[in-house]
Amino acid sequence: MTSIQPGTLVFIDPGETVGHEQRGKRPYLVVSTPGKAKDRPGNLGLIVAVPLTTTGRPWWTVVRIPKDSTGLEHDSFALCHQVRSLSVDRAKHIIGFVSDYVLTTVRLVLITMLST
């Protein structure tokens, strides 16, 4: 598989989940690839990603991702409140990519969410 970068949409099976964690195989938006920073040694083999759903919610932690030019079949929603660190080995295949605007919006929601 080609190198996964922030902004990449990948299909992931997150494995067993509990409670209110997002379940099932689905697209995830990669927001960070820790360990791949130019000024840091090593590769952690991890991605930080948020799962997508096709069900919209009126929550401030949900970001709409239009299907146009992404490789997604439907308009989707990034569930920022479900952010996860996952092994790159869970990524089954690359679906496509989001725009810089969408990636920046998701990251701003994450920053706000993690700052409260």
In angstroms, rounded to a whole number, what is the distance separating the alpha carbons of residues 33 and 57? 27
Give the pTM.
0.86
In a domain, 1, yes or no: no
In a domain, 41, yes or no: yes
Q: Domains in the chain: how many in total?
A: 1
Q: What is the CATH number of the domain that holds 47?
A: 2.30.30.110
Domain of 98, in residue numbers: 8-115
- The string of pLDDT tens digits covering residues 17-63 is 666 566 568 899 999 987 665 555 556 778 999 999 999 999 999 99
In angstroms, rounded to a whole number, what is the distance separating the alpha carbons of residues 55 and 33? 27
* 27, two tokens: 């697209």
Whether 80 and 63 have beta carbons less than 8 Å apart is answered as: yes
In a domain, 63, yes or no: yes
* 3, two tokens: 């190198």
* 91, two tokens: 């990524």
Reduced to 3 states (helix: H, G, I; strand: E, B; else coil), residue 76 is strand
pLDDT confidence of residue 38: 55
